[in-house]
């Protein structure tokens, strides 16, 4: 193996990209991406050949066999190998891994893929790479977040190695798809259809069977049979999808009939009857669907792990951090009010539940939260917890993470482009150089404003750490870190950022977008706390919000409903409705 591989000299490629006639569509796509970015870097055409092409080569997929490098079955779908052999380089990998391998090489050559519209591609005349012999296989088999830049741009999601349920075409590596995705009890047995004739199928609370906001009675044998039949039918109808969720609805009211309650009390958790039930479903479908995974939730009443029952090998438990504080790392947060209650009245912290599930379940996934869903623009001080929390997940046997983010179709503010990029890096490698990634992104994306952006992040996070301020996922925007005095400090910092890019239209637009966060919090707090509603300020904010292409301010209602809530002194537009979900999902 030579000390380095020469790709180009004096602006001319010295290497050929080599493919095989038997390459998969993913390997062909990987080769095309490599050629495209090398040509952007060199401003010169890069030749492509086949296994018979002589000379130095970057051999991709099956063509790497000419270098004595063959794909390893242990790489799975996402792993890859980069290996220098004499004057050539082999890139092999799994279905997605071979594509990730190309992007890894490009990043080693200096390329950065920050957003769908912002990449840093160096212009060079000479291009060398040190000798390589490395294999990367991610610890997390499932990596997902739902920032709009990723959900609207699947090819960009691939560049950041996201493989969750974004509609990524097979050519681009595909994704881990769910047949059903969470909160599926009503899908299995709709109470509107079944309750009148079979109330015993649904949860008993305080001695009464519930039709509204109900769960299933998990010890009822007919419920078990119907669930097995329904799950089997769904898997037959979706043969390419491995994951299917059998999980509680998005509220409490777990069944407390004598049989369900007995299991939960014995197991010390509402997860007792749930895992007991899901295990039976998983066992029943395994013979016909040996690759299927039954996914369920450890959420609210089912968050603590059961004492004795263990999830089967084909069961995935998705642990949710909805009660947690997001201003301090999970392992060190001292807010006892965020613990959940067990059937015996004792409480359990999230970190204890994480540790307990990691000891008893081979496939733990996480549902974590990265924004304020009640006020998407509000400055969310979680910058210093993203990495330690991801490291805690990995240490505790977690195999998949979904970071639920701002899901608005138009995206949002609060520096979410940066946050989305950093989370992507952490999902691939929890021990990555987080600060280096932040510096690279801010330097390129914000230009001369970058030091001010980082100062803003530092001041925001220092406030919650110094004053031990706890921040949830759905808080109003009037916390101590968002007081008028603190808003003034943040505003001065971002005003300096704006001044630094006043001659750069793109940089000015990006900083102006970031400043919308402070404008929203000030408008909302002035209205709710002081009765101040300046029509010009309000109208100007909503006009600027739309001008940036932004849509929802609150997860569950439109910007128009949020505007009406502001006028009528309500913290959220959902207060207009009996249920928080009544206005429905966002449409365009």
Identify whether residues 201 and 120 lie together within a single domain: no
pLDDT at 2 over 70: no
Identify whether residues 122 and 27 lie together within a single domain: yes
The closest alpha carbon to 567, from 538, 545, 530, belongs to: 538
Last residue of a domain, one of 281, 304, 327: 304
Determine phi and psi for 99, rounding to 5 degrees: -70, -45
Give the pair of three-digit tokens for residue 183.
Answer: 């909160």
pLDDT tens across 180-199, in order?
999 999 999 999 999 999 99
In a domain, 356, yes or no: no
pLDDT at 309 over 90: yes
* Helix (H) or strand (E) segment spanning residue 57: strand 57-60
pLDDT tens across 448-468, in order?
999 999 999 999 999 999 999
Identify whether residues 113 and 191 lie together within a single domain: no
If you average pLDDT over residues 302-310, what whole number do you get? 98
* Helix (H) or strand (E) segment spanning residue 277: helix 271-286
Identify whether residues 184 and 130 lie together within a single domain: no
Mean pLDDT for the chain? 96
Identify whether residues 102 and 206 lie together within a single domain: no
Alpha-carbon distance 165 to 404, whole Å? 12
Identify whether residues 130 and 213 lie together within a single domain: no
In a domain, 188, yes or no: yes
In a domain, 560, yes or no: yes
Give the pair of three-digit tokens for residue 5.
Answer: 């591989």
Identify whether residues 239 and 123 lie together within a single domain: no
Last residue of a domain, one of 304, 339, 374: 304
Q: Where residue 3 falls among pLDDT bands split at 50, 70, 90? A: confident
In a domain, 542, yes or no: yes
pLDDT value of position 351: 97
Identify whether residues 107 and 203 lie together within a single domain: no
Q: How many domains does the chain have?
A: 3
Identify whether residues 196 and 254 lie together within a single domain: yes
* Helix (H) or strand (E) segment spanning residue 129: strand 127-130
pLDDT value of position 587: 81
Identify whether residues 449 and 568 lie together within a single domain: yes
Alpha-carbon distance 60 to 364, whole Å? 34
In a domain, 87, yes or no: yes
E strands present in 439-568: none
Identify whether residues 62 and 186 lie together within a single domain: no
Contact between 366 and 402 (Cβ < 8 Å): yes
If you average pLDDT over residues 258-277, what whole number do you get? 98
pTM above 0.95, yes or no: yes
If you average pLDDT over residues 252-266, what whole number do you get? 98
The closest alpha carbon to 517, from 413, 372, 405, belongs to: 413
Domain extent at residue 257: 178-304
Which pairs count as long-range contacts for 196-201, CB under 8 Å and 24+ apart, including other chains? 198/222, 201/226
Last residue of a domain, one of 280, 304, 328: 304
Alpha-carbon distance 537 to 519, whole Å? 9
Identify whether residues 80 and 189 lie together within a single domain: no
pLDDT tens across 470-481, in order?
999 999 999 999
In a domain, 399, yes or no: no
Residue in this structure with the two tokens 């990998």, named with its chain if needed: 93
Strand partners, 117: none
Q: What share of the chain in percent tops pLDDT 70? A: 99
In a domain, 429, yes or no: no
E strands present in 333-435: 340-341, 347-348, 364-369, 398-404
């Amino acid at each position: 193996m030579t000390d380095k591989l020469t790709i180009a000299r004096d602006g001319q490629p010295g290497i050929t990209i080599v493919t095989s006639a038997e390459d998969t569509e993913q390997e062909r796509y990987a080769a095309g991406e490599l050629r495209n970015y090398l040509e952007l870097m060199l401003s010169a055409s890069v030749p492509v050949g086949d296994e018979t092409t002589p000379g130095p080569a970057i051999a991709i997929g099956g063509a790497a066999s000419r270098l004595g490098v063959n794909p390893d079955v242990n790489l799975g779908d996402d792993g890859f190998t980069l290996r220098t052999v004499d004057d050539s380089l082999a890139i092999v990998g799994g279905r997605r891994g071979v594509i990730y391998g190309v992007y890894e090489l490009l990043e080693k050559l200096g390329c950065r893929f920050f957003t769908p519209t912002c990449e840093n591609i160096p212009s060079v005349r000479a291009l060398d790479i040190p000798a390589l012999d490395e294999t990367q296989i991610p610890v997390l088999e499932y990596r997902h977040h739902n920032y709009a830049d990723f959900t609207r741009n699947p090819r960009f999601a691939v560049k950041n190695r996201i493989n969750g349920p974004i509609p990524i075409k097979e050519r681009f590596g595909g994704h881990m798809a769910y047949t059903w995705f969470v909160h599926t009890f009503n899908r299995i047995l709709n109470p509107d259809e079944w309750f009148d004739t079979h109330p015993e199928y649904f949860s008993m609370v305080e001695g009464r069977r519930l039709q509204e906001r109900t769960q299933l009675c998990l010890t009822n044998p007919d419920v078990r049979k119907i669930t097995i039949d329904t799950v089997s039918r769904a898997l037959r109808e979706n043969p390419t999808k491995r994951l299917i969720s059998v999980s509680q609805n998005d509220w409490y009211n777990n069944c407390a009939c004598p049989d369900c309650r007995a299991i939960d009390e014995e197991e010390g958790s509402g997860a007792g009857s749930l895992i007991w039930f899901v295990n039976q479903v998983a066992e029943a479908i395994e013979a016909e669907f040996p690759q299927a995974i039954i996914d369920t939730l450890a959420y609210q009443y089912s968050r603590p792990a059961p004492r004795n029952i263990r999830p089967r090998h084909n069961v995935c438990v998705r642990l949710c951090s909805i009660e947690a504080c997001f201003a301090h790392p999970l392992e060190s947060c001292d807010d006892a009010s965020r613990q959940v209650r067990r059937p015996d009245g004792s409480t359990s912290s999230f970190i204890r539940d994480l540790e307990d599930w990691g000891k008893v379940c081979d496939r733990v996934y996480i549902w974590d939260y990265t924004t304020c869903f009640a006020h998407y623009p509000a400055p969310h001080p979680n910058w210093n917890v993203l990495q330690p929390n991801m490291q805690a997940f990995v240490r505790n046997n977690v195999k998949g993470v979904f970071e639920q983010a701002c899901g608005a179709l138009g995206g949002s503010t609060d520096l979410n482009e940066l946050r989305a990029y950093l989370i992507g890096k952490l999902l691939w490698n929890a021990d990555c150089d987080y600060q280096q990634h932040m510096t690279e992104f801010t330097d390129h994306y914000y230009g001369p404003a970058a030091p001010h952006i980082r100062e803003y992040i530092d001041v925001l996070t220092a406030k919650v750490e110094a004053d031990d301020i706890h921040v949830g996922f759905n808080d109003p925007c009037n916390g101590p870190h968002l007081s008028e005095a603190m808003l003034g400090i943040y505003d001065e910092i971002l005003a300096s950022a704006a001044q630094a890019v006043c001659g750069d239209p793109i940089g000015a637009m990006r900083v102006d977008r970031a400043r919308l966060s402070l404008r929203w919090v000030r408008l909302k707090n002035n209205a709710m706390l002081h009765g101040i509603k300046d029509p010009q300020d309000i109208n100007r904010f909503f006009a600027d919000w739309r001008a940036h292409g932004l849509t929802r301010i609150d997860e569950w209602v439109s910007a128009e409903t949020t505007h009406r809530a502001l006028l009528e002194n309500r913290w959220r537009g959902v207060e207009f409705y009996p249920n928080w979900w009544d206005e429905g999902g966002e449409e365009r």
